[in-house]
Every structure is written in structure tokens, then in C-alpha cells.
Amino acid sequence: MTRDEIYEHVQTAVAEALGLDDDEVTPEATLMDELGAESIDLLDILFRLERSVGVKIQASDIGDHVQGGIPDDEFGDENEIITPAGMAQLKTVMPQIDEDELAGKLRADEVMSHFTVDNLVQLVESRVNAAA
Amino acid sequence: MSTPRPDDAAALPAVRVGVDVVEVARVTRLLTEQPGIEQTLFTAGELAYCSGRRRRDEHLSGRFAAKEAVLKAFGTGLGTRMRWTDVEIVNAWGGRPRVDLHGEVAAVADRRGLLDLDVSLSHTSSLAVAHAVAIWRHDHG
């Protein structure tokens, strides 16, 4: 399955779960802040993707994917600010993150508000490739 | 009981709350459009209890909100290896809901020192809301 095909599946799943038109679901749109996805919507999106793409992704997998196996206390400092090691990890899975703007400021609980449709496509693609 | 001095504060249990509200219509749409998701979200006992009710989706929505509220009181959301069915809302005698924990959620509760957990839920035809209170051993992570 090509990345474009995966993108189409993700776009359809997000649009149907959130009741949006396909063209409102752009790659750079953030799922929660801009498209307004709540946790029940995320559950819906992931269930739709399981049926259409054939890979099972749980909501917790998104957080794990973003954190990349870095322990909590190394991902965020004592004030819950993302550490340099955490930022380096984020750049690999959320390349749109503006490191200059957010370094030393981004709180751990704000990370998911930056998670975009394209970031979800990358996660699904990695799962599809891993299953191949 | 006397008011604890600040030095004693670290020895007190930690109270954490979680609250969640969900639209019943959203849950209805999810259950209608995603055949099979019921078994992912709810235990056989929860489904049996709600299926016998006239306003089934309201009751299921209340249970969904309660699961979210409990996981918020854990501070984790649905973490790795956790399943929605690990948090089961059971109706004790008199109708008062009780939370039974299973699987990974029960293991996390044990590891982190959960002392007590209570939940309350309510629903109308449009909204379901739940509030959970967790009491943790003072040194939980």
C-alpha cells in the first residue's frame, strides 16, 4: 500500500468520524485542536482504520509512537517541559514541530495538540510496513 | 483529626479526580457505524445490564464516560496494553455503581498504590457525565 493510498484511508476515516468533508481534512491539520477530535472520535478513527487498512492501532499507541520509548522522566523535565532528548524524538515523528519556537516551552500535555493528520498517516504507514 | 502540619503533607494519601462528559448521540453513532466496537469498549456484564434497559445508549454512554473519568483519575488515559474492558462499571445492590478493575489497569493500580476508587455517573437523553475519585498512596508515581 502506497503512502498516498494510506493518506486517502486516513482522510476518509477522519472525515467520516468527525462529520467533515474530505477536503477539510488536510495533511497539516491538527487532529484535536483544528479538527476538534475528542477521545471518542480518536477511538472511532482508529476503529475505521483497522477495518479499512487492516492494522490495529490503539489510542495509547499514538502516545507511545510520539514518545518513541523514551521514559516519562527523560521525555519531560520536572516541570513537564519537553527535554532536548524529547524534542529530538518529536522531530522524527512530528517533523512540522517548530523547534526554535517551542524548545524549552512545550509542555508534555501539549504535545498531542500538535499531532496532525500527516503524523497519523506516518504512524499508520509504519504499522502497515511492519505488518508486511 | 487535627489539621496536618505541612511537614506531614507528604505522608497523606493523594486524591486525584477525573471527570468526563459525552454526547449520547455520539456514542449511538459510534456503536451504529462501528459494528463490533461494543465488545472492545464494554464487558459482557456491562452490555447485558444496559441491553435490558429502555434507554440502552444512555446507559452505555454513562459507562463510557465513567471509564474515561477513571482513566483520568489514574492520570494516564488509556495506556499501553490497557483495554477499555479493564475498567468495568458494575451496579451493586441499590443501583450504586462500583468500579471493578481488570488486566493492565488493575496491575497499574496495584503497582502505584491505589487505595480506593469511587465513581458517580448520570445521564439525560443528550448527555452522560461521570466523575471518578481515586485515592493513591502518597508516594505513587
What is the residue-wise DSSP string for chain B?
A: -PPPPGGGGGGSPEEEEEEEEEEHHHHHHHHHHSTTHHHHHS-HHHHHHHHTSTTHHHHHHHHHHHHHHHHHHHTSSS-TT--GGGEEEEE-TTS-EEEEE-HHHHHHHHHHTEEEEEEEEEE-SSEEEEEEEEEE-TT--
* Cross-chain residue pair B26–A40, CB shorter than 8 Å: yes
Cα–Cα distance, B18 to B134 (Å, whole number):
8
**Chain A residues with CB inside 8 Å of B40's CB?**
47
- For residue B72, give the C-alpha cell: 483520568
Tell me the per-residue pLDDT of B9-41, one tens digit each, with 9 for 90 and over.
667 889 999 999 999 999 999 999 988 899 999
pTM of the predicted model, to two decimals?
0.85
Q: Which of A32, A43, A111, A112 to mutate to test the interface with B (most CBs of B within 10 A)?
A: A43
pLDDT of A91 higher than 90: yes
| Domain layout of chain A by residue ranges | 3-131
Tell me the per-residue pLDDT of B74-108, one tens digit each, with 9 for 90 and over.
987 776 678 899 999 998 877 789 999 999 999 99
Whether the CB of B39 is below 8 Å from some CB of chain A: the reply is: no
CA distances from B114 to A20, A49, B106 (A): 41, 35, 9
Tell me the per-residue pLDDT of A36-86, one tens digit each, with 9 for 90 and over.
999 899 999 999 999 999 999 988 888 889 999 898 889 989 888 999 999
pLDDT of B5 higher than 60: no
Out of A44, A60, A61, closest to residue B34 by CB: A44
- How high does pLDDT run on average in chain A? 92
Q: Which of A18, A32, A42, A47 to mutate to test the interface with B (most CBs of B within 10 A)?
A: A47
pLDDT of B59 higher than 70: yes
Domains of chain B: 14-136 (3.90.470.20)
- What pLDDT shows up at residue A50? 93
- For residue A125, give the C-alpha cell: 504507514
**Chain B residues with CB inside 8 Å of A59's CB?**
77-78
C-beta of residue B136 within 8 angstroms of C-beta of residue B115: yes
* Cross-chain residue pair A61–B80, CB shorter than 8 Å: yes
**A38: nearest CA in chain B?**
B22
Taking the CA of residue B63 and the nearest CA in chain A, the distance in Å comes to: 13
Give the ipTM. 0.80
Instruction: Report DSSP state, residue A55.
Output: -
* Cross-chain residue pair B37–A43, CB shorter than 8 Å: yes
| CATH entry, A3-131, from 3.40.50.10790, 1.10.1200.10, 3.40.50.1220, 1.20.1250.20 | 1.10.1200.10
**Chain A residues with CB inside 8 Å of B78's CB?**
58-60
Q: Which residues lie closer than 8 Å to A109 by C-beta, 6 or more apart?
A: A80
Whether the CB of B31 is below 8 Å from some CB of chain A: the reply is: no
User: 3-class DSSP state for residue A76?
Assistant: strand
